[in-house]
Amino acid sequence: MGTVERKTRDKVAREAHITQAARSIATAEGWRAVTIRRLADEIEYSQPVLYGHFRNRDAIVAAVAVEGFGVLRGLLLAAAGAAATPQDALHRVAAAYIAFAFDEVALYEAMFVLPTGLHFAQDDVPAPLKDAFSALAMVVAPFCTQVDLATETLWAALHGAAQLERHGRIRPGYRAERVALIVQALLKNPGAPHASA
């Protein structure tokens, strides 16, 4: 292995170590506990070394978020793959999205709540974000002519339901019913984005 390849591999490994430490701290204590100083102490790197990899805390959160989109994509594809029908796939994927928001709170916050500087719905979207969106769009496509619009609307509805429930604004005992209603709304919407099933 050449010097350049080794340096690249070492850089990637250090960045993975930093993001894993950030994610672990956030999972245990919340994102407020994740600071450059705390990370440096936790992984025994100097603060200048951390700044050599990430310009600030938001950049670390963004790196964690990008990893999270890979995790989410895998879960959505697995949910769709376990379905018997297109309608079942849509329902399973919606339920998997909501479950992810509750099972991976710190990761979900990095992806959708905290400032990251990541751009959505633009040309420079990182591949893992596009891939996760595509996994959601895949189950929407059989029912809608305007797939991107319908997928964005589904995503917004699922995110809103997850956030409202997480913060105690809606009753937690009705999560499954809400998911079913969101899916039904997409399937039965007579408007332009909907094609007959």
Residue 36 has pLDDT above 50, yes or no: yes
Structure tokens at 76: 């959505």
Percent share of the chain, pLDDT over 70: 95
d(C-alpha 111, C-alpha 44), whole Å: 26
Mean pLDDT, all residues of the chain? 92
Domains of the chain: 1-55 (1.10.10.60), 57-197 (1.10.357.10)
> What are 101-127's pLDDT values in tens digits?
999 999 999 999 999 989 888 888 999
Residue 107: CA count within 13 A, CB half-sphere? 17
Residue 14 has pLDDT above 70, yes or no: yes
pLDDT at 124: 86
Residue 182 has pLDDT above 90, yes or no: yes
DSSP per-residue codes, 42-82:
HHT--HHHHHHH-SSHHHHHHHHHHHHHHHHHHHHHHHHHT
Q: At 5, is the pLDDT very low, low, confident or very high (cuts 50, 70, 90)? A: confident
The whole-number average pLDDT for the span 141-152 is 93
- Counting every residue written for the chain, the total comes to 197
pLDDT at 122: 84
Task: Name the nearest CA neighbour of 156 among 136, 180, 141, 171.
Answer: 136
d(C-alpha 196, C-alpha 132), whole Å: 25
pLDDT at 123: 84
pLDDT at 7: 85
Q: At 95, is the pLDDT very low, low, confident or very high (cuts 50, 70, 90)? A: very high
